[in-house]
Structure 1
Amino acid sequence: MTNHPRAGQPAGATDLIDVAQVVVAYYTRHPDPAEPGQRVAFGTSGHRGAAADTAFNDDHIAATTQAICDYRARNGIVGPLFLGKDTHALSEPAWATAVEVFSANDVMLLTDAGGRYTPTPAVSHAILRHNAERSYGPAYGADGVVVTPSHNPPSDGGFKYNPPDGGPAGSDITSWIQDAANRYLEANLAGVRRIPLTRALSAETTSTFDFLGHYVDDLPSVIDIDAIRSAGIRIGADPLGGASVDYWAAIADRHDLNLQVVNPLVDPTWRFMTLDWDGKIRMDCSSPSAMAALIGRMRDTANFDVATGNDADADRHGIVTPDAGLMNPNHFLAVAIEYLFNNRVDWPASAGIGKTLVSSSMIDRVAASLGRPLVEVPVGFKWFVPGLLDASVGFGGEESAGASFLRRDGRTWTTDKDGIIACLLAAEILAVTGDSPSRRYQQLVERHGAPVYARVDAPATREQKTALASLSPDQVTATELAGEPITEKLTRAPGNDASIGGLKVVTESGWFAARPSGTEDVYKIYAESFHGADHLRQVQDEARAVVDSVLST
């Protein structure tokens, strides 16, 4: 990918959204269900879109909320629904729409007691804690919704559903909700029940919940807070204007940590951000361009031992160290796994290590050295939910900087991504080992080799994308990749036998995975080599040739 000439530079006035215009578009534009881009479409993390594109509007959220109510009734889910929102301009109006519909359907609704913002992990934590403390079966307990498009640009909105298992809803659930919501759109919202916001907020079924207090006070059960405090680790936490802003201040105060909230500002235009690789404002804490301000502050002032960032709903993490700058997410995942499985003595002896199939093979080598089973799944955090829920997976992580792991005693913490505990883990690693996470990664390299990893895009028609998503291993006739024998040709994930929606080809020291994009006419090639950059380029070139040969038949 070619970087925009202003990537990493501060946003200017012309980069900012007009918040009033965005909110007006939410209420005044009405989708045409005959237009594919204007229908409700649940991806890996809910329905997302821009109001100006008539892709995320009041009609979408009213229809989707009613569909969730129908799903709950159909499946006997009678517990409360925990409702959170992030700091995007569209999150407040979408939250209000949801409250009006949930209340009209007599759903027991729990909203944030402070009236502020709620990170995704705090919602997952609340769901699981509620269900664990009561005698509800898995189908009857609490569930939740988070109004967030995660790290997407300021113009976007997002709406995602977490069922009673606390994690991202699986495709069987999201497909049902999506189809039901689109039927409501096609019927001009006939059948959608709704009452005015004032009545909804004062309804007997609507109440508040202290998400922040329950989450922050429970952190010592998952992170060695005492070690961080005793070592005096200096932490700089940048919420990037997102939902974790109040949480980091509370973490510093309640746990007496040497922690500074680097940027406590919330502004739906995100005028304080530096531009991402493509010149857009995007709160991607795994991007060096989006994190340029924090990286520069760490480099220039050396005020912190470790600095951290989170995206808008705090389900992703970014780790900045004095010796390496922003860590590659794959690198930190490998370090976190190696540290946790050596230091969480009360974790189940059989607990495995979860990774997505496009994450670094350094994780495979670390897992082998630990003698732990590797659970390799398709892209999407939803695949880790069952393992985190029954503690058969101790750690689940994906290459896009999302992860969660068990409590210190081996019980479930969250079943959705938790960027806050990942950031605190970086401080714990430094406190306990005396080495920064980036130095710990170099130690892994010395033991296991130095992988080079990249992702590139290649053009593909819709027909070719469909063909790629439905490949069988037999269609791949190549026997070598970049001079090495092919050892595996995968179209289903080894960890759970689920379709990967593409192809992964593996050799002893390299691999590539090709998957169609869900939003563009391209396919994505993820590749890695333990033989350096030149060998990686060879893997990438031959990956294109392998995929092209299959798509041309």
Structure 2
Amino acid sequence: MEHISFGTDGWRATLDTFTEPRVRMVGQAVADHLRAAGDPGAVAVGYDARDTSRGFADALAEVLADNGFEVLVSERDCPTPVLAWTVRDRGLAGGLMVTASHNPPEYNGVKFLPPGGAPALPEVTDDLEDRLAEPTALPEADRGTVREDTFTAAYCQHAVDFAADPDLDGLRIAYDAMHGSGRGVTDDLLAAAGASVERLRTDRDPTFGGESPEPTAERLGDLVARVTEGDADLGFANDGDADRLGVITPERGSLDPNLLYAVLYDYLLDSGTGGAVRTVSTTSVIDRIAEAHGERAVEVPVGFKWVAEGMREHDALVGGEESGGFGITAHLRNKDGVLLALVLAAAHAERPLDERADDIEAEFGEIHQGRVSVTCPDDRKAAVLDSLDGDLPETIAGVAVADVGTADGFKVFLEDGTWLLVRPSGTEPKLRVYAEADSAERVEELLAAGSDLVEPRV
């Protein structure tokens, strides 16, 4: 049990730790959690393209069925957002997704999705950890059944309807599945809307080509080349479980996720209303866009579970984080790199994303961010952060302090609209120092000032 811990987004571990007996204990915990909540409904189980994922999914399904639940198992590996939307759409008791997302192939993981399909909050995951136990089984007559189901068909029809049946005729899109579960879903959805789709790495490779299936610029060289050299108008890439999206444009290449969020929010405001939710490390340009439309941006801690909760509490239009995860509230309070590709393709068909990004930068300023680490023992992290409260200089890097936020770590807002954030690493004995400004040079100044502020306190 000591090896099982639900972090920011489920339990992930290398395969020497992530074993079938422990996965079955998670299944028992979920069964007991649902039974205690009085929810006897069906449970959906999905899994990603890793070699071991289907076997772990079958183990979870067996434990749940032995505890009396009807279980629907995806007939093939599927994107996490497809499973999450299925839980919401069918009113299921919950869902279990076997995935390590963008982690390398030697990892696997599992996340629990409560009713509604949003990420589980700590009160749920804490309860699951408390209920970890060896599996039990009801008498045979009281057990549930397991059957395969197709989750993607209904999801894709919903996506087309949600995006108002976009016309992508004539649009050339290059799509990189990174050998993950977006293959045959994101690309087929774009093609069904009329786009001409060139498919890259859409074969199933459980090793993801020997690297992490993370859609960062350095891992998308072929995709970037196809778009920037004129062979495609737009490029999309999903991570391993397709809840995140990388976007490639002709002028910018790999579009910075902060700027992508700004483009998405601005586009959605063309036809909708509502605020935006962002994490503490996501660009403040979102706030300026919201204010210009008479809306409000809400800041939450890092982790999409907090973004999703903010979307619910504030009835926001959209939520996102700088790591490339975005959700549209009316669709699903969870990250979705599949539907987002269709929505952004529709936006590009109306007006190129590069033009939209140009206009945002001209009106609201360029986005430049950076991060450095300061070594700090785990038992000193809280004390260092506490010491900053009430002990700040009046100016940092030559600019007056305007406000302080403590939603996650310690964040200093300066009067020129820039900010400096110090928060603890959840995995290493380090404090992370983040900064945002309107130039790379200014970011470096802020990071240096932030390090100078923190290091003497460690």
TM range (shorter): over 0.9
- After TM superposition, the structure 1 = structure 2 runs for residues 60-459 of structure 1, keeping only pairs within 5 Å, are 60-112=22-74, 115-131=75-91, 141-181=92-132, 184=133, 189=134, 192-193=135-136, 205-229=145-169, 232-252=170-190, 254-271=192-209, 281-285=211-215, 287-300=216-229, 302-342=230-270, 344=271, 347=272, 349=273, 351-386=274-309, 388-389=311-312, 392-406=315-329, 412-433=330-351, 435=352, 437-459=353-375
Residue 389 of structure 2 aligns to a residue whose secondary structure is: helix
What amino acid maps onto 2:452 in structure 1? A
The Cα shift of 1:239 comes to: 1.1
Q: CA deviation at 1:253?
A: 5.3
Q: What's the TM-score once normalised by structure 2's chain length?
A: 0.94
Q: For 2:378 and 2:184, how far apart are their aligned partners in 1?
A: 44
**For the residues of structure 1 that align with 2:213 and 2:105, how far apart are their CA atoms?**
9
- AA of the residue aligned to 1:290: R
Partner of 1:511: 419
Tell me how far apart the structure 1 counterparts of residues 383 and 177 of structure 2 sit (CA, whole Å). Answer: 41
Work out the CA distance in 1 between the residues paired with 2:255 and 2:235. Answer: 11
- Cα RMSD for the two superposed structures: 2.2
Q: What's the TM-score, normalizing by structure 1?
A: 0.78
**How far off its partner does 1:542 sit?**
1.3
Q: 1:249 to 1:430 in 2, by over 3 A?
A: closer
Q: 1:92, CA displacement in angstroms? A: 2.1
CA deviation vs aligned residue, 1:294-324 (integer Å, no higher than 9, x gap): 1133334x22110100001110000001111
Q: How far 1:80 sits from its partner (Å)?
A: 1.2
Please state if 1:51 is matched with 2:2.
no
SS at match of 1:330: helix
Cα displacement string for residues 236-258 of structure 1 (whole angstroms, at most 9, x for unaligned residues): 11111111112134324544432
Q: Structure 1's 312 and 526: CA in aligned 2 closer, same or farther, altered over 3 A?
A: same
Amino acid across the alignment from 1:540: L
Distance (Å, rounded) in 2 between the aligned partners of 1:225 and 1:388: 25
Q: Which moved more, 1:459-468 or 1:206-215?
A: 459-468
Decide whether the 8 Å contact of 1:62 with 1:97 is kept in 2. yes
Query: How many angstroms does 1:176 deviate by?
Result: 1.5
SS of 2:166's equivalent in the other structure is helix
Give the distance between the partners of 1:311 and 1:476, measured in 2 at CA. 42
Q: Spell out, residue by residue over 1:246-275, the C-alpha distance to the aligned partner (whole angstroms, 9 max, x if none).
A: 21343245444322322221111222x6xx
For 2:228 and 2:188, locate their aligned partners in 1 and report how far apart those are by CA, in whole Å: 26
Runs of 5+ consecutive residues of structure 1 not aligned to the other structure: 1-32, 132-140, 274-280, 407-411, 493-499
Question: Contact 1:525–1:543 (CA<8 Å) still a contact in 2?
Answer: yes
Partner deviation per Cα, 1:265-295 (whole Å, 9 max, x = no partner)? 1111222x6xxxxxxx21111x111222311
Counterpart Cα distance in 2 of 1:547 and 1:318: 33
| Structure 2 Cα separation of the partners of residues 223 and 47 of structure 1 | 33
What CA distance in whole angstroms lies between the structure 2 residues aligned with 1:45 and 1:454? 24
How far apart, in 2, do the equivalents of 1:366 and 1:256 lie? 31
Residue 91 of structure 1, CA deviation: 1.5
Structure 2: which amino acid aligns with 1:459?
T
1: CA distance, partners of 2:259 / 2:85? 26
Match of 1:137 in 2: none
Change (3 A) 1:88 1:45: same
CA distance change for structure 1 residues 476 and 42 in 2, over 3 Å: closer, same or farther?
Answer: farther
Give distance in 1, aligned partners of 2:62 and 2:235.
Answer: 40
Q: Decide whether the 8 Å contact of 2:298 with 2:310 is kept in 1.
A: no
Distance 1:204 1:71, change over 3 A: closer
In structure 2, the CA distance between the partners of 1:270 and 1:105, relative to structure 1 (3 Å rule), is same
2:410 match: secondary structure: strand
The alignment partner of 2:232 has SS state of coil
| Aligned residue identity for 2:136 | R
What is the identity, as a one-letter code, of the residue corresponding to 1:488?
A: D
Judged with a 3 Å threshold, the aligned counterparts in structure 2 of structure 1 residues 309 and 204 are, in CA distance, closer, same or farther, namely same
Distance in structure 1 (CA, Å) of the matches to 2:44 and 2:313: 22
What per-residue deviation string (whole Å, max 9, x for no partner) do you get for residues 165-224 of structure 1? 31110011111112322xx3xxxx3xx1269xxx9xxx7522233211011111123224
Matched AA of 2:381:
K
Give, in angstroms, the shift of residue 399 of structure 1. 0.5
CA contact (8 A) 2:173 2:234 kept: yes
1:547 is displaced (CA, Å) by 2.5
| Partner Cα separation in structure 1 for residue 297 and residue 370 of structure 2 | 22
Q: Which amino acid aligns with 1:81?
A: V
**Matches of 2:411 and 2:178 in 1, distance apart?**
34
| Stretch of structure 1 that moved more, 217-226 or 122-131 | 217-226
Deviation beyond 6 Å, 4+ runs, structure 1: none
The reply on whether 1:481 has 2:443 as its aligned counterpart is no
**Is the contact between residue 80 and residue 243 of structure 2 (CA under 8 Å) also seen in structure 1?**
yes
In structure 2, the CA distance between the partners of 1:252 and 1:440, relative to structure 1 (3 Å rule), is: closer
Count residues with an aligned counterpart: 455
Q: Do 1:130 and 1:142's aligned partners in 2 also have CA atoms closer than 8 Å?
A: no
Cα gap change, 1:65 to 1:155, in 2 (>3 Å):
same
Alpha-carbon contact 1:476-1:546 (below 8 Å) kept: no
Classify 1:76/1:220 alpha carbon distance in 2 versus 1 (closer, same or farther; 3 Å): same
Contact (CA 8 Å) 1:123, 1:211: kept in 2 or not?
Answer: yes
